[in-house]
């Protein structure tokens, strides 16, 4: 037998739930954990989801293992707070998920046939629409179901995809690229006029149209921006390495020269 046998999934989950309950115990628990509410924990939940995405992007699987654990902790944290309020507990969260997964995959667990991925998506959307109706959330718009709390790039992309499903979309990328130019021209006009509200509005239109262009090019706008940010970070660090004085001591022309040299090296 191994020196350090791994506990069963059931035992590991039971221990995690016990740890969380102990942290939230008013009698000797952690003061920070006891102070938290659903609202205060949400930002950490979102942050942990992004850290999972970052580990995947880097193909850092040991890190992914740890970040998935941190994300699971968020589910357990919310479930513990709900249990304390008599709302639901972790077991109910899992039970609802299990039932949903079976219900949304009738081509696996039922008698519905799905020849390919497209058929699966059609079935999935139909089942979700039925679920919304059962919950009293009847379909009012093609863009229903896009959470307000999504990161802006993702929300824009999801809204556009939903609108596209009912034919509200450009057929090719060319006209979208032309629209980017038009939106930039409108931004230039707002800049000339100096109206900050108009500038913000037009800049938002530029971002939204760029997301649309990425979608038509079959690219993930979030991944494209992430790569650009990573590239900037690497080059900026190279600029710092090339500089022989604080960057604040350089004028614009000198900084541009350092940047050009960094681009040559990276």
Give residue-wise pLDDT tens across range 23-66.
Answer: 999 999 999 999 999 999 999 998 999 899 889 988 999 999 99
Give residue-wise pLDDT tens across range 24-36.
Answer: 999 999 999 999 9
Give residue-wise pLDDT tens across range 172-188.
Answer: 999 999 999 999 999 99
Radius of gyration of the chain (CA): 25
Determine the 3-state secondary structure of 92 from DSSP: helix
* Helix pair angle (152-165, 221-242), 10° resolution: 150
Backbone angles phi, psi at 219, to 5 degrees: -115, 150
Residue 62: both structure tokens together: 């040991």
Task: Please tell me the number of Cα atoms within 13 Å of 181 on its side-chain side.
Answer: 6
Question: For residue 80, how many other CB atoms are within 10 A of its CB?
Answer: 20
For residues 255 and 260, give the distance between their C-alpha atoms in angstroms, rounded to a whole number.
Answer: 9
Share of the chain above pLDDT 90, in %: 73
CA 204 to the chain's CA centroid? 19
- From residue 163, give the alpha-carbon distance in Å to each of 95, 126, 146, 168, 266: 33, 16, 11, 5, 40
Q: What pLDDT was estimated at residue 226? A: 87
Q: DSSP for 171-215?
A: SSHHHHHHHHHHHHHHHHHHHHHT-HHHHHHHHHHHHHHHHHHHH
Q: What pLDDT was estimated at residue 3? A: 64
| Cα dihedral value 31, 34, 40, 45, nearest 10 | 100
Mean pLDDT over 155-170 rounds to: 92
pLDDT bucket at 115, cuts 50 / 70 / 90:
confident
* Higher per-residue confidence, 107 vs 71: 71
Q: What pLDDT was estimated at residue 139? A: 67
pLDDT at residue 2 is higher than 60: no
Give residue-wise pLDDT tens across range 72-104.
Answer: 999 999 999 999 999 999 999 999 999 999 999
Task: Please tell me the number of Cα atoms within 13 Å of 171 on its side-chain side.
Answer: 0
Give residue-wise pLDDT tens across range 188-217.
Answer: 999 999 999 999 999 999 999 999 999 999
pLDDT bucket at 137, cuts 50 / 70 / 90:
low
């Amino acid at each position: 037998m191994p020196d350090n046998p791994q506990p069963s999934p059931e035992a590991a989950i039971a221990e995690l739930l016990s740890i969380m309950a102990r942290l939230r115990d008013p009698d000797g628990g952690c003061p920070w954990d006891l102070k938290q509410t659903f609202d205060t924990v949400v930002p950490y939940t979102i942050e942990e989801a992004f850290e999972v995405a970052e580990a995947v992007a880097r193909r850092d699987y040991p890190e992914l293992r740890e970040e998935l654990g941190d994300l699971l902790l968020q589910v357990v944290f919310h479930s513990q707070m709900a249990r304390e309020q008599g709302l639901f507990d972790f077991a109910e969260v899992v039970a609802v998920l299990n039932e949903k997964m079976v219900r949304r995959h009738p081509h696996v667990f039922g008698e519905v046939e799905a020849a390919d991925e497209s058929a699966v998506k059609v079935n999935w959307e139909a089942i979700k629409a039925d679920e919304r109706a059962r919950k009293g959330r009847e379909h009012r718009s093609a863009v229903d179901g896009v959470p307000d709390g999504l990161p802006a790039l993702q929300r824009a992309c999801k809204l556009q995809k939903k609108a596209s499903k009912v034919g509200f979309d450009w057929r090719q990328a060319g006209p979208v690229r032309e629209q980017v130019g038009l939106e930039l021209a409108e931004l230039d006009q707002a800049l000339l006029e100096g109206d900050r509200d108009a500038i913000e509005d037009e800049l938002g239109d530029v971002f939204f149209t760029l997301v649309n262009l990425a979608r038509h090019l079959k690219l993930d706008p979030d991944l494209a921006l992430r790569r650009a940010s990573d590239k900037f970070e690497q080059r900026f660090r190279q600029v710092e390495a090339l500089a022989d004085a604080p960057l604040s001591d350089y004028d614009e022309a000198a900084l541009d020269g350092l940047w050009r040299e960094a681009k040559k090296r990276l």
